[in-house]
């Protein structure tokens, strides 16, 4: 006689009294999706196709009261709890086997106050949602570089993007947050209210509660910016990197550029004879006077002869979404990161070597230039620790087939391991964590802020309801 496989979500839900589930559904205004429901497979999917988790319940929240009900239910029934904002966290933290998923996707409202130059963004909104509303008033807040990314996950772990060098991390621009903590209470945290919670939320990656809304400062940006996007052949890597590092030494704050090694994509915009070959490219933007842009970027564009050059003026919202097609839903992703005190010849050579050895032509090795406003915030001002390092290296393994999982994951891990062995390398970035196979990823992320964050965690989440492999634990007892 054959056996019937029971999925982890079904097993976890079977251990919850039916009367408790029915009571929760009655109280809850949104959709409560169980494993037997037709919508379950769609509800449990996230952006990273590598993630295949089976939660017990997906609770699609319509408002803060739903979030409170979901948190309370998970705590009382001793269910693991995860939070889905945009669902774009590369590690797939939005879903877990047997968990209750607090799904904020229906809560995607954005409200701009043009007089105060602020924007309030709900926890399920994406970067594209925020940019669309703020640009209506010629404003923007520092967010990421892919419009489909969730504002919540990006911000709670830091938030690098095109505006970072001028205005800081996404979390540096928070005025306040509304948080549902593990006890089911709604707290507004800011510089003068629940200050310890506000300190910890900014960098803890969601380990202290469900942030249902974010209030950001905004700045005059756009509507057009000057974009840099040339591609060079891999043979020119040394010349391109030499010029790039010279440029970063005194780059204007209004400009930010990252360099990356990749393979020329098989697109009609690229010369047919170059498609599939190793390459080095740069992507960045300048938000100062357009007449100055040519002079700002000229040293980078003349480092070598580009294969193709997409540089030029562009609406800010187009810049924010131009990479969306490179990161489609359902592709398989495994990303890791490490900070650099300097970019040495060894770093450059590793970027070239691992690019050439990549199992997938979709993968890249990226070098982010940080510095500027990010570094001016004291390390202990927020839970986010890594501010003094001027560069970050990220290894993005991107591929299509499940059969290629092992090869691509091993490639990314090996690359970071080789970089980590260099004396200039340290730490990790919470938004690009890999699968956290390091011995203690939280200490690598939070540095000397670790112990204080443990104290805040112990106060607001003593039972570790919001814990993940990469977050700090509360103190025992």
Which class for 334: exposed (0-12), middle (13-18), buried (19 or more C-beta within 10 A)? buried
Angle ∠(361,365,366) on CA atoms, nearest 5: 130
Measured CA to CA, the distance from residue 191 to residue 206 in angstroms comes to: 18
Look at domain 110-221 and name its CATH class.
alpha beta
Measured CA to CA, the distance from residue 20 to residue 269 in angstroms comes to: 57
473, 466 in Cβ contact below 8 A?
no
Measured CA to CA, the distance from residue 426 to residue 342 in angstroms comes to: 11
136, 120 in Cβ contact below 8 A?
no
For residue 214 the two structure tokens come to 């974010």
The H or E element containing residue 415 is helix 405-420
Extents of the domains making up the chain: 9-103, 110-221, 224-426
Sign of CA dihedral 118, 119, 123, 128: negative
- The number of residues making up the chain comes to 477
- The set of residues, in sequence order, having a beta carbon less than 8 Å from that of 431 and lying 6+ positions away, is 89, 90, 153, 154, 157, 158, 159, 337
Tell me the Ramachandran region of residue 54: left when phi exceeds 0, alpha when psi lies from -120 to 50, beta otherwise: beta
**Which residues make beta-bridge pairs with 278?**
263
- Phi, psi of 301, deg, nearest 5: -75, -20
Measured CA to CA, the distance from residue 390 to residue 251 in angstroms comes to: 12
Sign of CA dihedral 366, 372, 373, 375: positive
pTM: 0.94
The H or E element containing residue 113 is strand 110-113
Measured CA to CA, the distance from residue 452 to residue 449 in angstroms comes to: 6
Angle ∠(330,335,339) on CA atoms, nearest 5: 155
88, 104 in Cβ contact below 8 A?
no
Encode burial over 17-56: b for 16+ CB neighbours within 10 A, e otherwise: eeeebeebeeebebbbbbbeeeebeebbbbbbbbbebbbb
475 secondary structure, DSSP code: P
Radius of gyration of the chain (CA): 22
- The list of the chain residues with pLDDT below 50 reads 1-2, 436
- The set of residues, in sequence order, having a beta carbon less than 8 Å from that of 19 and lying 6+ positions away, is none
Rounded to 10°, the helix 237-249/345-356 angle is 140
In this structure, the number of other CB atoms found within 10 A of the CB of residue 443 comes to 17
91 secondary structure, DSSP code: T
**Which residues make beta-bridge pairs with 102?**
59, 83
pLDDT score, position 438:
59
CATH match for 9-103 among 3.40.50.1000, 3.30.1330.10, 3.40.50.150, 3.30.43.10: 3.30.43.10
Q: How far apart are the first and last CA of the chain?
A: 48
Of the candidates 348, 345, 453, the residue with the CA atom closest to the CA atom of residue 393 = 348
Name the strands in the sheet holding 210-217, side by side, starting at the edge strand that comes first in the sequence: 110-113, 118-122, 210-217, 174-180, 186-190
Q: Which residue has the tokens 């927020």?
A: 382
pLDDT score, position 1:
42
CATH match for 224-426 among 3.40.462.20, 1.10.1740.10, 3.40.50.980, 3.40.50.1950: 3.40.462.20
The number of angstroms, rounded, from the C-alpha of 28 to the middle of its chain's C-alpha atoms is 29
Of the candidates 365, 432, 362, 355, the residue with the CA atom closest to the CA atom of residue 400 = 362
Tens digit of pLDDT for each residue in 62-77? Answer: 999 999 999 999 999 9
Of the candidates 42, 67, 154, 211, the residue with the CA atom closest to the CA atom of residue 432 = 154
Tens digit of pLDDT for each residue in 244-254? Answer: 999 999 999 99
If DSSP codes are grouped into helix, strand and coil, which group holds residue 346?
A: helix
pLDDT score, position 468:
86
pLDDT score, position 117:
98
Pairing verdict, β 230-233 and 308-309: antiparallel
**Which residues make beta-bridge pairs with 177?**
189, 214
Measured CA to CA, the distance from residue 41 to residue 269 in angstroms comes to: 37
């Amino acid at each position: 006689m054959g056996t019937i496989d029971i999925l982890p979500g079904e097993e976890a839900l079977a251990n919850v009294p039916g009367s408790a589930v029915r009571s929760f559904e009655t109280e809850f205004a949104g959709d409560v999706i169980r494993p037997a429901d037709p919508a379950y497979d769609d509800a449990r999917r996230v952006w990273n196709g590598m993630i295949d988790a089976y939660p017990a319940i997906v609770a699609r929240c319509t408002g803060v009261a739903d979030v409170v009900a979901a948190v309370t239910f998970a705590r009382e029934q001793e269910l693991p709890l995860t939070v889905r904002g945009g669902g774009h966290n590369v590690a797939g933290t939005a879903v877990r086997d047997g968990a209750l998923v607090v799904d904020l996707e229906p809560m995607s409202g954005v409200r701009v106050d043009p007089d105060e130059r602020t924007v309030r963004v709900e926890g399920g909104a994406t970067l594209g949602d925020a940019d669309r509303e703020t640009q209506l008033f010629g404003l923007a807040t520092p967010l990421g570089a892919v419009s489909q990314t969730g504002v919540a996950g990006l911000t709670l772990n830091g938030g690098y993007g095109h505006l970072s060098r001028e205005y800081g991390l996404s979390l540096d621009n928070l005025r306040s947050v509304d948080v549902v903590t593990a006890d089911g209470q709604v707290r507004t945290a800011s510089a003068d209210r629940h200050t310890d919670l506000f300190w910890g939320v900014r960098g803890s990656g969601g380990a202290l509660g469900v942030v249902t809304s974010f209030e950001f400062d905004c700045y005059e940006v756009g509507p057009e910016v000057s974009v840099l996007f040339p591609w060079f052949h891999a043979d020119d890597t040394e010349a391109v990197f030499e010029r790039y590092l010279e440029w970063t030494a005194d780059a204007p704050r209004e400009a930010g550029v990252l360099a990356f090694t990749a393979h020329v994509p098989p697109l009609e915009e690229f010369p047919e004879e170059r498609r599939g070959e190793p390459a080095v490219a740069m992507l960045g933007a300048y938000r100062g006077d357009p007449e100055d842009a040519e002079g700002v970027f000229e040293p980078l564009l003349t480092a070598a002869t580009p294969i193709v050059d997409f540089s030029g003026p562009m609406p800010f919202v187009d810049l924010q979404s131009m990479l969306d097609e490179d990161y489609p839903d359902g592709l398989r992703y495994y990303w890791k990161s490490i900070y650099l005190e300097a970019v040495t010849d060894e770093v450059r050579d590793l970027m070239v070597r691992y690019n050439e050895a990549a199992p997938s032509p979709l993968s890249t090795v990226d070098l982010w230039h940080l510095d500027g406003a990010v570094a001016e915030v004291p390390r202990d001002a927020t839970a986010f620790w890594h501010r003094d390092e001027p560069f970050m290296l990220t290894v993005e393994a991107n591929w299509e087939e499940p059969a290629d999982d092992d090869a691509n994951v091993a490639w990314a891990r090996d690359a970071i391991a080789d970089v980590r062995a260099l004396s200039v390398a340290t730490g990790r970035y919470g938004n690009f964590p890999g699968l956290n196979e390091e011995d203690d990823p939280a200490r690598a992320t939070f540095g000397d802020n670790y112990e204080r964050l443990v104290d805040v965690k112990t106060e607001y989440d003593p039972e570790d309801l919001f814990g993940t492999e990469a977050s700090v634990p509360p103190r025992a007892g």
